[in-house]
Structure 1
Amino acid sequence: MRRSGRSCASWQYLKVPDYVTDPADPRLTDYTRLRDVDLRKSLEAERGLFVAEGEKVIRRAIGAGYPIRSVLTTARWLEPLADVLGDATVYVVSDETMLGVAGFQVHRGALASMERLPLPSVERVLAGTSRTVVLEDLVDHSNVGAIFRCAAALGVDGIVLSPRCADPLYRRSVKVSMGAVFSIPYARMDNWYNGLEQMRDAGYQLLALTPDQSATPLDAVKMTDRVALLLGSEGDGLSSRWSQEADEPVCIPMSPAAMAAGVDSLNVVAAAAIACHGLMRGRPSRML
């Protein structure tokens, strides 16, 4: 893939890459067995890193200010990324070596090990926002990434995670979000049990999304200036405590015909997309 108009200028600033042929080379350990969730959680926490996959995601991570530790790529992706890599350490490998390191075929051909930045506090994320999504115990990385993408696309200001939520910077989350995890501020609660109190103290109206059709339809809720949408885990939904702590249970009205046919709910990502769109109704002008 050639990018006309920037190639020559880009190449002159690119550090000479290291060509590596051994998948066991210790310089590549940041990229080891990317599908081994337990290993990656331990390794990434210990080293303070995450892995961005593909040119677009790598560009968005760099643009969001995450420092590059190194880049692992095949030769064909050197030129497309040359203008943003600068003096980064770059390891070039064959497709076979990439497979041996990562444990799967990296179709986008480029991986970047990025340094994590300190997470802001919940208080800081809430400051100056008017529409927030709160995720309770979603453990599927793909679902978390997809919800970040929906929230960012539909104008949600921030996301707050319960302590046990999946990591938005896990490779799969980042990939599914297409880098939206870099564009929307998020924070993680320290305390699940009393976590919603902080939201309420910040002036938020707490809406608990439920499949229960006896709840208030989301489009009929009288929303205040600050609204937080609570989304529960993939299987069980919101905990009873959070449901009770919310100001109001809300639902997405289902088609009567669908209900009669046994289709009585949406998956969490589809529900999040519809609900995020609904949150924009009556939203005040964005706070500066």
Structure 2
Amino acid sequence: MKPEVIPIDSPSDPRLVRYHRQFERKAHMRDGYFVAESQFLVQRLLDSPFLIESILVDDPAKIPELPPQRVGQFPIYALSRDDIKELLGYNFHRGILACGQRPARSNIASAFPGEVPPTSTILAASKIGDFENLGAIIRAACAFGADAILLDSGCADPFAKRTLRVSTGHAFKIPIVESEDFTADLKQLASFGFEHFATVLSDEATPLAKVSRAPRSVLLVGNEGYGLEPETLAHCTHHITIPMLRGSDSLNVAMAAGIFLYHFCHAQPGGVTSE
């Protein structure tokens, strides 16, 4: 059974308001929606448990194969390619978009609807302002097996179009908490038995090769320029680092996060070993 397609002849049609360029960023966050672009991301969204408000295509032939449970869940609109370009303000959408509803997760407890697993890894990010860096971090956290991602209010939008493109839709596969009170969430994790590991650039920090994860570990990464802020570091029992050669003084935060995540998600629990 082919899904019904609803033709629309104007980019100003109110049914398409959430696709409009002026509705991006903070407006999407306040309203609880996001837009995914391209056949690949729309298919990953369809295969996820996320609620979908609508799909928009420039050609009905581009409508993806709908999972059986998705048929009839939402409208599918068709608008000409030129009108979609006018609606979005650019022509990078590849002729298919979907509007999804972001999950209501404002504190870390919402990532664990049941009991917290005895062995858990949470990636906590503070002030990661670059969309591409955040997308790459989300992709690595999901791929390497983190249980959830905690973001403070200074991070880029994890469901912005650029972030979703770089994350390749992995944001649909792992719980992401957009924290309303980052400090309170870190404290709550400590009450759950989590140990906090701050990633830093310091000769006094423990080299990653000498770090063994705690059964419940929070791995914290900070801003691309200055790292974690002092008030965040104050919540961390462990300071860890990646030693570098040839005078290198830093790595891209997404690359560094991937290295730390692989180590933590594949190591046996046992605490931090000292020199």
Mapped to 2, the partners of 1:146 and 1:108 lie a distance apart of 22
- Residue by residue over 1:42-99, the C-alpha shift from the partner in whole angstroms, topping out at 9 and shown as x without a partner, is 43245321111122222222222222211111216534x1434633322222322221
In the alignment, which of 163, 169, 172 is matched to residue 182 of structure 1? 172
Residue 83 of structure 1 corresponds to which residue in structure 2? 66
Residue 13 of structure 1 corresponds to which residue in structure 2? 2
- Residue by residue over 1:217-238, the C-alpha shift from the partner in whole angstroms, topping out at 9 and shown as x without a partner, is 1121132211111101122210
Helix, strand or coil for the counterpart of 2:190?
helix
In the alignment, which of 97, 103, 122 is matched to residue 111 of structure 1? 97
Contact 2:153 2:179 in 1 (8 A): yes
- Partner AA of 1:13 in structure 2: K
Mapped to 1, the partners of 2:7 and 2:110 lie a distance apart of 43
Q: 1:47 to 1:194 in 2, by over 3 A?
A: closer
- Aligned pairs, number: 262
Q: Percent identity?
A: 30
Q: 1:170 to 1:237 in 2, by over 3 A?
A: same
Mapped to 2, the partners of 1:74 and 1:140 lie a distance apart of 30
- Partner AA of 1:62 in structure 2: L
Q: 1:156 to 1:42 in 2, by over 3 A?
A: closer
- Partner AA of 1:97 in structure 2: D
Contact 1:120 1:186 in 2 (8 A): no
Mapped to 1, the partners of 2:95 and 2:53 lie a distance apart of 17
Contact 2:11 2:87 in 1 (8 A): yes
In the alignment, which of 161, 165, 170 is matched to residue 171 of structure 1? 161
Q: 1:269 to 1:47 in 2, by over 3 A?
A: same
Residue 8 of structure 1 corresponds to which residue in structure 2? none
- Residue by residue over 1:113-159, the C-alpha shift from the partner in whole angstroms, topping out at 9 and shown as x without a partner, is 11233226412435225111111122222222211101111111111
Matched, 1:139 2:129: yes
TM-score normalised to structure 2 length: 0.86
Task: Give runs of aligned pairs for residues 243-262 of structure 1, distance below 5 A.
Answer: 243-255=233-245, 257=246, 259=247
Offset of residue 193 of structure 1: 3.8
Residue 225 of structure 2 corresponds to which residue in structure 1? 235
Contact 1:135 1:230 in 2 (8 A): yes
Task: Give runs of aligned pairs for residues 257-276 of structure 1, distance below 5 A.
Answer: 257=246, 259=247, 263-276=248-261
In the alignment, which of 121, 127, 149 is matched to residue 159 of structure 1? 149
In the alignment, which of 43, 47, 51 is matched to residue 35 of structure 2? 51
Mapped to 2, the partners of 1:118 and 1:194 lie a distance apart of 17
Structure 2: state its 5+ residue gaps: 270-275
- Partner AA of 2:139 in structure 1: R
Structure 1: state its 5+ residue gaps: 1-11
Residue 74 of structure 1 corresponds to which residue in structure 2? 58
- Partner AA of 1:110 in structure 2: I
Residue 267 of structure 2 corresponds to which residue in structure 1? 282
Contact 2:207 2:240 in 1 (8 A): yes
In the alignment, which of 20, 26, 47 is matched to residue 63 of structure 1? 47
- Partner AA of 2:256 in structure 1: A
Mapped to 1, the partners of 2:244 and 2:60 lie a distance apart of 48
RMSD between aligned residues: 2.2
- Residue by residue over 1:227-257, the C-alpha shift from the partner in whole angstroms, topping out at 9 and shown as x without a partner, is 11110112221001212321111111111x2
Task: Give runs of aligned pairs for residues 201-220 of structure 1, distance below 5 A.
Answer: 201-220=191-210
Offset of residue 216 of structure 1: 1.0
In the alignment, which of 107, 111, 119 is matched to residue 125 of structure 1? 111
